[in-house]
Chain A
Amino acid sequence: MNQWIAVGALGVVAVGIPLGMMAASSMLRPTVPEQGKSAIYESGEVPTGTARVQFNIQYYMVALLFVIFDVETVLIFPWTVIYRPALEEGVPLVTLLAPMLVFIGILVVGLVWAWRNGAVEWVASPRALKEKTES
């Protein structure tokens, strides 16, 4: 309990420092609004359209895969903590290791499946493939 108060205090300080810098800057900096200054940067061209566009589905596939493996890492951590102490207390190795091997094995099978399905393969749009000049 005591420990987490200190962690929370660092959280407060870590928000306070950026806010303080913003306040200091707002007192120092000039504000000269001007048309054209606020245009978004597009290599110096006049920007076209909005940035809320469709993007590569690859990012979605990878995020789905991540959720699975992240939950897995959360489940692995308690095991890693008790592993060595339990061994030192005389629990047989097989009892400790076999369930985790099965667990990781199932996930590896899942990864292989996703791999063969092309979930971790970079998806290039048909247009990009058509206009590709180098091999």
Chain B
Amino acid sequence: MKASWVLLQNGNATGNATNATAGGVARPPSAPLADSIAGMLGLDGVVGAIVGGLIGAFIIANVMMATTAVAGPWAKRKITAAFTDRIAVNRVGPFGLLIIVADAVRLLSKELIVPDGVDRPAWDIAPIVIPFSALLGFAVIPFGSGLQLADPETGLVFAFAAASIASLGVVMAGYASNNKYSLLGGLRAIASNIAYEIPLIVTAASVVIFAGTLQMSEIVAVQQQTLIEIGGVAIPQWFAFVNPFAFALFILANLAEIGRNPFDIPEAPTEIVAGFQTEYSSVYFVLLYLGEFIHIFLGGALAAALFLGGPSGPVLPGFVWFYIKMWAFFLFTQWARSAVPRLRVDQFLDAGWKGMLVLSFANLVLTAILVGVIV
């Protein structure tokens, strides 16, 4: 552990140095959010770090909660309704937007029914673990415009590590519920997470080969360089343009990782009712549902930061572009939900272990050879 840590840090130091000298990366001089807040308050040292960190964390967490609140009760319904030629929520407020408030109050004021024979501490902790894991991943996401809470040198690995804690919450929910549907849903969720996690991370590793660093701000900065120029328009070196194959693999593995169609076998409403959330009601259900939606946005944020140039884009400020990219991924998941049939569980695992895994390793090796040839 210690040795690998040192190796990562050393590798990173050389990576930064060479990138700065060879590429001439134009990197905006923006400090992480926690540091700039501490600077604004005139605090320094450990106190400044803690206060700045807490305020920054509060901002990031609330931005994501607000996004999820719009996505869950409103945007999801509207998008699905548009696909199925309906109108959906339009009664409360403009475009039915106030349904968010109504739904929040409605769900929070429902009775919490504790079913017979649930495994009590685990059943109660699972709804905390799932949103926790998804929110924690946002600590290192570079939203642009200085909105990045922290920028550690191992940022990318941290984001994946934080996102995978959700598997633990899901298996806790599934196993503690004392319900056969929940058990099956929990097991399926674990099987899908572990089958598609390796393709996801190995594909991300192919981006790291290009970028030569794990630091999120550096990965984004490398993508600002020009790939080619067509008619005076500079096409930036977004990794989705450099390696579209890896991008497609990443998006597919991401869909499986966040459990959306065509890979939504953990929930599979027509097979196992609601999977691991069958026995949850009231605020516990809200938290599980919320956690899943934050997870979708975390998947979108990772895809945007790794492959779509992060906050870069013309005219609009960086944060807006990053936000648009995250929403684009959300729209894509909802499109897939409406348009693509679900895989059967055995087909799903086959596709993961025999297809995606092999393809992702092929992608890694080919990327390494390609980089070796062009550098």
Which A residues form the contact surface with B (CB < 8 A)? 2-15, 17-19, 21-22, 24-26, 28-32, 37-43, 50-53, 55-56, 58-59, 62-63, 65-66, 69-70, 73-74, 76-78, 80-89, 93, 96-97, 100-101, 104, 108, 111, 115, 120, 122, 124
Contact = CB atoms under 8 A, between A and B. Distances in A.
23 contacts: A4-B152, A5-B34, A5-B46, A6-B35, A13-B61, A22-B127, A28-B108, A39-B115, A39-B116, A40-B115, A40-B179, A41-B181, A51-B180, A55-B183, A55-B184, A62-B349, A63-B190, A77-B157, A78-B8, A82-B15, A82-B212, A83-B368, A104-B365
A73 B199 CA distance: 10
B54 interface: yes
B150 A7 contact: yes
Interface string B124-167: 00011001100110111000000001111000011000000000
Contacts of B7: 78, 82
A68 to B, nearest CB: 10
B117 interface: yes
A17 B131 contact: yes
A79 B136 CA distance: 26
A46 B360 CA distance: 47
Contacts of A100: 368
Contacts of B191: 58-59, 62
Contacts of A55: 183-184, 187
B150 A80 contact: no
B198 A70 contact: yes
Interface string B80-120: 00000000000000000000000001001111111111000
The secondary-structure label for the interface of chain B is helix
B111 A10 contact: no
B364 interface: yes
A104 B177 CA distance: 40
B135 A51 contact: no
B53 interface: yes
The secondary-structure label for the interface of chain A is helix
B179 A7 contact: no
A124 to B, nearest CB: 8
What are the 10 tightest A-B residue pairs by CB atom distance, in nearest-first order?
A9-B53, A122-B346, A6-B34, A25-B283, A6-B53, A14-B135, A84-B212, A10-B57, A82-B11, A66-B194
Contacts of B177: 40, 51
B205 interface: yes
Interface stretch (B227-235, B312-320, B350-358): B350-358
Q: How large is the interface on B (under 10, 10 to 19, 20 to 34, 35 or more residues)?
A: 35 or more
Contact of A10 (B50, B139, B345, B371): B139
Contacts of B180: 42, 51, 53
Contacts of A39: 115-116
A55 B191 CA distance: 13
B40 interface: no
Contact of B4 (A37, A41, A65, A78): A78
B310 interface: no
Given A51-B179, A80-B209, A18 B194 contact: no
A17 B150 contact: no
Nearest to B12: A81
Contacts of A66: 194-195, 197-198
Contacts of B183: 51-53, 55
A106 B338 CA distance: 41
Contacts of B35: 2, 6
B350 A122 contact: yes
Contacts of A82: 7, 10-11, 14-15, 212
